[in-house]
Amino acid sequence: MNHPISQQLHALHQAVNSNDAAALQQLYKDDAVLVDKPFISEHRDIHGALHEFKSRYMPEHVVSHGDEVVIEAGDTALVISKLYLNSKQAIDKMGCDYKKAIYVFRKSEGGEWQCAIDNFFGVDLIDYV
């Protein structure tokens, strides 16, 4: 976790797992987009959107991330990450499902990286359109 975005991504997943609305507001841009197959839409209430997403796609799981690549250009960064879906009963990365998630982060005026696009489905989204 050398890049500041790695730390933000870890904090983002912790906030999703714990339903921490205050943390989510800080970690996502105001105009953030959550990709929810097969729809891509802007969500004003990112906490509500993530809660609905969790209920639909991962009701008995917690999420964590593994290997990642951060490609930065100015105030924008593309992040490709392994996203692990761990059963709440067995929280380890061995034998659990993972996705290759894609995120876009933008740097705020204060210099903090915030998530602008959260695509849990990664390139697999192409299979849904």
Dump pLDDT digits (tens) for 52-101.
777 776 777 788 888 899 999 999 999 999 988 777 766 555 556 778 99
Average pLDDT score over residue span 39-60: 69
Average pLDDT score over residue span 102-112: 94
In the chain, what percentage of residues exceed pLDDT 90? 34
Residues constituting the chain: 129
88: exposed, middle or buried (Cβ count in 10 Å: 0-12, 13-18, 19+): exposed
pLDDT at 90: 62
Tell me which of 3.40.50.300, 3.90.1300.10, 3.10.450.50, 3.40.50.10540 is the CATH number of domain 4-128: 3.10.450.50
